[in-house]
Amino acid sequence: KAVVSTQSTGNTGSIGASQLYKTLQECGCGVTLQMCKKLVKCYDTRHSGRLAFDDYMRCCVAVQSLHKGFTRYQDPSDHTLTTDLEGLLLLVLQARRRPVTNLTVD
């Protein structure tokens, strides 16, 4: 909640793609601003173009889980992952089962 409050522009209690981008960069997730725009569009349940706290948490859990799975299997020399459909599905399924960790709610 503190992150959303801190990153929120205009004291709206929600964040947009650029604030999400900044937050994810600070967490070490190398996603682009374009991807953050897609994430906001996907997780924005209020269709406002911004993420409220609950939407933000769901988005971060998904990104964190997939990021952990990706870093486990990536080629460390160039940060790429080569897989087939079954490998991709396994990564997604593992991410869905993983509990929420390292996320604090104030």
Give the model's pLDDT for residue 29.
83
Longest distance between any two alpha carbons in the chain, whole Å: 44
Amino acid at 2: A
Return the ∠ at Cα 51 (arms to 47 and 53), rounded to 5°: 125
DSSP single-letter state for residue 80: B
pLDDT tens-digit series, residues 34-81 = 999 999 999 999 999 999 999 999 999 889 888 888 888 788 788 788
The mean pLDDT of the chain is 80
Is the pLDDT assigned to residue 95 strictly greater than 90? no
